[in-house]
Structure formats: C-alpha cells, structure tokens
Structure 1
C-alpha cells in the first residue's frame, strides 16, 4: 500500500520563525494628505479681503481725517506707509519689496511638501498678507518697488495697520507656537530628546 504524505503546513498553523511569509510588524500608515490646497485657498481669501478693504479705505477715507468707531480707541485712519508692517523701516521700501517677493516664493515651495493642517494655516496667513502688501509695493504710487502700502486700521496707540499686516503677524505667531510645541510641518509631533532616548532603550 502506498502512503501519500503532504508536508505542507496547515493554513491554520503559525508560520515558522524566519519564514518570509510571516509578518510581525503592523502595516505603517501612510503620510497624511498634502496641505498645499488649504494653504493656497486661505492665502487667496486673505489676499482678496486685503485688496477689498484697501479699495474701500482709499475710496471712503481722507488722509488726516480719521473716522472714530469706539471713542478715541478704535478708528479708521488712512495712511500711506512706505515701510514694513506697523510703519517700521520706512526708508527701505525697495528692499522690503524684494523681501516680500522672497517670502512668497519660499512659502509656496515649503507649502508643496506640507502635511500639517496647522502649518498650512500659518503659512497661508503669511502668504496672503505678503501678497497683499507686495501688490501695493508693485502697483501703487510712487512707482514699482517703491509703492506705499495702504494702512487704515488703528487701535489705541498701536501703529496704523491693514488686513495683510494682521495676517502676517498672526500667522507668524502660530508658526512659532507650532515650533515650540513640537508640531512638525510633515504632520508629526516631536516628543523631545528624553522620549527619543526611551524609545531607543526599548
């Protein structure tokens, strides 16, 4: 009598150690979606809002004739600003124009690799604000690279500002906070050297 044997392991038997078919590691989740669309949409909204409010301010306000909203604290006051945000560096208009253009290029390049929604929000705010003020530098009087930015909002003793200035400052604060608390542009969170040492020891 011929005995036929089958040396193949049963399907319900555990695979032997070292078997190439065995998988002891859980499937790694892929990286999150890229956040460039979120960055660009937010930047476009802020850019449009900045252009709209500046156009209204130029049409409705007269330099030197402020409109008071809440006592003497909150007011609209039209100012042509040759300097940076909040009227700083007023004698370096052309340099500020080049810096703003560089910021726009840098943000778009970084944004193409972003996977963190919060980083996209922060950079979108910076991009929208930079584009708003850059447009003034390029197209407003007295000429290209020398254009004066339209500022029209004033609160207390704070220098007169606009939507673009607010977006840049708020975006920068958000980015600093994300960096301090360890949120990375790729969507991960850094836990510090101590946690990394524990993982290495494990």
Structure 2
C-alpha cells in the first residue's frame, strides 16, 4: 500500500467511503426496481414530475450507442482506474466527495455492464427514475452531482492534489 502513502490516506478513505455509499445505494435501489416494477408500468412518486418506470439501457445517456455496449464497459473501467490513480494525492474533502461520487457511479455502471443480461461486458444498466424525458438511476444522479461539484471546485481554484512528497530512502 505504498502508493496510498503518497497522498492523504484520510482523504482517500473518505473518497472510497463515498464511492461505497453511492455503489450500495444504487445497487439496492436497482434490486428493488427489478423486483417491484414490471416492464412499462409507471408508478407516480411526485406527479407529474417524477415516476418510477423500469427500463434496461444498453447505451449511454439518452440510450445513445445501444449497439456498442462494450465501449461503455471499457469507458467505465478506464474511469474507475483513472479516478483511483488521480486520487492518490487528494488535497481536499470536496474533491474526495466529488471523486467518490464519480467512482461509485462508475463502479456501479461497470458492474451492470459486466454482470447483467444479456451477457458479460454487454450488460444493460437498470434505469427506473423517470424525470419526464429522461430515465436514470441513483448512480446517474451521483455522476451528475460529481460533475457539478468538480466544476465548482475547479472554478473556485480548490486544488485536486497536493504537491508530491519526496520518497525517503
């Protein structure tokens, strides 16, 4: 775990904890949606704004790219690896939470792509929160919030990473 010692282990742990919360919340709600909702049924939550409706998304946002699900699998895997690498030298709690939400959403979508039907690396993401023209899930909300948080942190000049420390002999 020498790679972890290069940055703040407390902030890295905060990021991982945030990711686990997003991952668990997303997967639990997807499990509920698959068990409780049947195809096409709309359950009013806050009419007319929000309904629950079960869909399986083979593509990306707005169901684009449904024929190249494997590309989204690779992109999610690259995002997970990238976040874990970049976060080694976290310098703020804001970035830890933002990257944690990004990591949790990416890991959850990667899990769907790898292990859901129709098969390995071609799986469909479970979407069930219907916002009118859009249908998503908890991971999508976390990814959106992560992007907003990272834009705000960047605009405010909050550094992502601390200066690298010299390795001791």
TM-score range, shorter chain: 0.7 to 0.9
CA offset at residue 187 of structure 1? 6.0
Where does residue 105 of structure 2 map in the other structure? Answer: 129
| Alignment gaps of 5+ in structure 2 | 1-6, 164-169
Summarize the alignment of residues 1-202 of structure 1 with structure 2, pairs less than 5 Å apart.
34-157=10-133, 159-186=134-161
Q: Deviations over 1:78-129 (max 9, x none)?
A: 0000012343332321000000000001101111111211111110000000
Q: Counterparts of 1:111 and 1:34 in 2: how far apart (Å)?
A: 11
Structure label with greater radius of gyration:
1
With the length of structure 1 as denominator, give the TM-score of the two structures. Answer: 0.73
- Counterparts of 1:122 and 1:54 in 2: how far apart (Å)? 22
Query: For each residue in 1:161-189, what CA deviation from the matched residue of structure 2 results, as whole angstroms up to 9, or x when unmatched?
Result: 0011111111011111111221111369x
Name the structure where helix makes up a greater proportion of residues. 2
Structure with the bigger RCO (C-alpha within 8 Å, sep 6+) is 2
RMSD: 1.8
Scaled by the length of structure 2, the TM-score of the pair is 0.87
Q: CA deviation at 1:54?
A: 0.3
What whole-Å deviation, never above 9, does each CA across 1:140-170 have from its counterpart, x for those lacking one? 000011000000001233x100011111111
SS of 1:178's equivalent? helix
Runs of 4+ in 1 over 3 A off after TM superposition: 31-34
Count of aligned positions: 157
